[in-house]
């Protein structure tokens, strides 16, 4: 396959060099080599992109377009993404380290589904009529209109580069807004390829703008810019707090934040053990652990704890039947037989090594892994810790890597394990495995998280709202609720 991808900024429908011609190299995590040089956006480039997006919204074809025609364009874009899905998956794999088979199905596949889902919403965004108190002889009609916000900024992370773009951009465009998007600096290539496809689909100039660059410069300018009326962000909690503060101080722009997580997964002794082991591994090792809803800590009931750990140690999360024992294959993400690819970038790999060292120093038991794989690239061993106590660093802090943290809880102590599971400032996702429907319902009610998985994990869908509680953020991606993040409501009262 010959793979081609743009490497410049995308502003006002054209690929252009950054101000001053500045560039940087994006790195292949499989071997540490440079893929290509990419234009590095500056503050002035943000201003140009925002001006183009504002013009497209206020005076351009996009702002005047019939919602059904807007939906037709987004459907066409989804069709083009499907036509180029193997190319997109290859670029995603090379740039982010995602295993190709997963990139094709999830990174790219769900991105296509997301654009198709929101394309269908374009002509179904409706207001309502409201009966208000009125005195005769006058009559009043009050109704609401749901309108696009205007220029929206979107800042996405590096773990699912195209999928995170889709989750936010699809809803934003369906609502009728224009977009200035900053991909993660280490994974810009599928976003730029996406920009190329918007041109082929026939999107008007200025509707979509893509600016690879540093968060401290480009992201900060987006937060501060007076003409941006909404900012959607997925990333760490500390950066989310900084963005929220900047958005408030600049022009009180609307903000939605999907932030960190330390998702608990509670496994009771009455579970389907085969499924709990298989899904428990997937909850941690899926996408190399670079997954915002990864189960950050597994609580396993005392009577099955040792068996669970033994089964985890010897199984691959990829095999369909747990009797078929083999090790996870770590290697080149483009190899169709690979189960476990490289971590996204060197700094993240170093953090995982340090995280594992801290766990061992604190007294947790390292069952397996914990080290960098001795080969070129940014590979880290799938890692399992047991005997993890609640006060430990690894029990509280997110690793964002393939590190399974297992703690045991006393037999039958449902309320006790719930208290431990909720003892965190994060609340993105959670899970429970049990055959007892009453217990499952009780636990799902008590878990303080935006998503609760029962006897499954990682099962997200474009129609189901996604977002966290507490310091895991505010607002929702996906589903009808995501549209609310990119719309404003106007009330109109007429007296007759």
Just list the catalytic residues.
Answer: 258
CA-to-CA distance for 95 and 7, rounded, in angstroms? 12
* Residues making up the chain, counted from first to last: 496
CA-to-CA distance for 78 and 59, rounded, in angstroms? 26
Is 415 in a helix, a strand, or coil? helix
CA-to-CA distance for 43 and 326, rounded, in angstroms? 51
Greatest pairwise CA separation for the chain in angstroms: 84
- For residue 430, give the DSSP letter: E
At residue 492, what are phi and psi to the nearest 5 degrees? -125, 125
> In b/e form, how buried is each residue of 75-108, taking b as 16+ CB within 10 angstroms?
bbbbebbbebbebbbbbbbbbbbbbbbbbbebbb
CA-to-CA distance for 147 and 324, rounded, in angstroms? 54
CA-to-CA distance for 488 and 150, rounded, in angstroms? 10
Is 168 in a helix, a strand, or coil? helix
Q: Distances from the Cα of 414 to the Cαs of 269, 340, 395, 438, in angstroms?
A: 12, 34, 19, 12
């Amino acid at each position: 396959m010959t793979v081609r991808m743009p490497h410049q900024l995308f502003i006002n429908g054209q690929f252009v060099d950054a101000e001053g011609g500045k560039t940087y190299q994006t790195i292949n995590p499989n071997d540490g080599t440079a893929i290509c040089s990419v234009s590095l956006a500056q503050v002035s480039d943000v201003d140009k992109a925002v001006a183009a997006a504002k013009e497209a919204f206020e005076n351009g074809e996009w702002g005047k377009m019939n919602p059904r025609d807007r939906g037709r364009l987004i459907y066409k874009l989804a069709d083009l993404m499907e036509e180029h899905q193997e190319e997109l998956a290859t670029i995603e794999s090379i740039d982010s380290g995602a295993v190709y088979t997963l990139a094709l199905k999830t990174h790219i596949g769900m991105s296509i589904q997301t654009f198709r889902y929101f394309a269908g919403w374009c002509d179904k965004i409706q207001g309502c009529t409201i009966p208000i108190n009125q005195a005769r002889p006058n009559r009043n009609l009050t109704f609401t209109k749901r309108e696009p916000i205007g220029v929206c900024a979107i800042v996405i992370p590096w773990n699912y580069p195209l999928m995170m773009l889709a989750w936010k951009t699809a809803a934003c465009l369906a609502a009728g807004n224009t977009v200035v998007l900053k991909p993660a600096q280490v994974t810009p290539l599928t976003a730029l390829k996406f920009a190329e496809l918007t041109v082929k689909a026939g999107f008007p100039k200025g509707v979509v703008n893509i600016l690879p660059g540093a968060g401290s410069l480009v992201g900060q300018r987006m937060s501060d810019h007076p003409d941006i009326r909404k900012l959607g962000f997925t990333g760490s909690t500390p950066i989310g707090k900084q963005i929220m503060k900047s958005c408030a101080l600049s022009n009180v722009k609307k903000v939605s934040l999907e932030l960190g997580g330390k998702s608990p997964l509670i496994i009771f002794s009455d579970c389907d053990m085969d499924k709990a082991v298989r899904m428990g591994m997937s909850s941690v090792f899926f996408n190399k652990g670079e997954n915002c809803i990864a189960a950050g800590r597994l609580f396993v009931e005392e009577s099955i704890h040792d068996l669970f750990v033994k089964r985890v140690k010897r199984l691959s999360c990829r095999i369909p039947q747990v009797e078929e024992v083999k090790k996870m294959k770590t290697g080149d993400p483009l190899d169709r037989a690979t189960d476990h690819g490289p971590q996204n970038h060197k700094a993240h790999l170093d953090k995982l090594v340090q995280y594992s060292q801290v766990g061992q120093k604190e007294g947790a038991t390292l069952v397996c892994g914990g080290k960098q794989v001795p080969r070129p690239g940014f590979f880290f061993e799938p890692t399992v810790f047991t005997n993890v106590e609640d006060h430990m660093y690894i029990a509280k802090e997110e690793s964002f890597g393939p590190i399974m943290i297992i703690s045991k809880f006393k037999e039958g102590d449902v309320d006790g394990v719930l208290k431990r599971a909720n003892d965190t400032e994060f609340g993105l996702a959670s899970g429970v495995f049990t055959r007892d429907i009453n217990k499952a319902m009780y636990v799902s009610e008590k878990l303080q998280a935006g998503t609760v998985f029962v006897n499954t994990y990682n099962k997200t869908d474009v129609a189901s709202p996604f977002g966290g509680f507490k310091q895991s953020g505010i607002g929702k991606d996906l589903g009808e609720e995501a549209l609310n993040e990119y719309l404003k409501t106007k009330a109109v009262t007429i007296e007759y």
